[in-house]
């Protein structure tokens, strides 16, 4: 379920509040880490604490919702780039987007992984989704001759992650590091 209960759609006010909460949770977790105050999230969303707890019965439920939403956005970005950019630029931009995301999140994802079963629906589905998005981006780059044919989607994701770690302490070098990675990704001439 995203903002529906599987049955009929949510009432308009419920949906509005759900989305405000999600947005505030996203920025609060980013700002204060995984144990940001839930009451403050509710306050900033202009909503009572009871409403927060109705939509997200536990802190973990809220964290999961944020995580899922971000994965979906990352996947969506891949499709968007595939339509608006030339293949090589799209590839580079997507790697950058992932690296930026995982740098911003640092320990947050770890916290989640520590608590959740790695084989849970949530993880499996998000992983699949990202994987499919990666395939799209990669297929275009291959067709255009800007990516080696033996580069897998997993490689792609690992490279992005590596980039985020490598540029952790020196964000200003991100572009240069990315160019190294892309050099490695291109077919040998």
10 Å CB burial of residue 9 (0-12, 13-18, 19+) is exposed
Min CB(15)–DNA separation in Å: 8
Instruction: Say whether residue 59 binds DNA (CB under 7 A).
Output: yes
- Residue 42 in contact with residue 48, Cβ under 8 Å? yes
Instruction: Say whether residue 51 binds DNA (CB under 7 A).
Output: yes
Instruction: Say whether residue 174 binds DNA (CB under 7 A).
Output: no
Min CB(189)–DNA separation in Å: 55
Instruction: Say whether residue 63 binds DNA (CB under 7 A).
Output: no
Residues 4-33 that bind DNA (CB under 7 A): 5, 10-14, 16-17
Min CB(17)–DNA separation in Å: 3
Residues 31-50 that bind DNA (CB under 7 A): 35, 37-40, 46-50
List residues binding DNA (CB under 7 A).
Answer: 5, 10-14, 16-17, 35, 37-40, 46-51, 53-55, 57-59
């Amino acid at each position: 379920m995203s903002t529906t209960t599987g049955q009929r759609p949510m009432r308009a006010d419920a949906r509005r509040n759900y989305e405000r909460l999600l947005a505030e949770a996203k920025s609060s977790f980013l700002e204060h880490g995984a144990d940001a105050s839930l009451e403050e999230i509710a306050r900033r969303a202009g909503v009572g604490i009871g409403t927060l707890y109705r939509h997200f019965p536990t802190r973990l439920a809220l964290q999961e919702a944020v995580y899922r939403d971000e994965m979906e956005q990352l996947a969506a970005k891949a499709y968007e780039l595939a339509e608006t950019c030339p293949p090589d630029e799209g590839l580079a931009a997507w790697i950058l987007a992932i690296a930026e995301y995982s740098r911003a999140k640092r320990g947050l994802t770890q916290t989640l992984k520590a608590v959740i079963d790695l084989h849970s629906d949530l993880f499996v589905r998000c992983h699949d989704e990202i994987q499919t998005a990666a395939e799209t981006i990669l297929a275009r780059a291959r067709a255009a001759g800007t990516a080696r044919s033996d580069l897998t989607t997993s490689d792609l994701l690992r490279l992005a992650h590596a980039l985020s770690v490598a540029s952790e302490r020196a964000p200003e070098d991100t572009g240069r590091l990315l160019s190294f990675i892309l050099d490695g990704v291109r077919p040998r001439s």
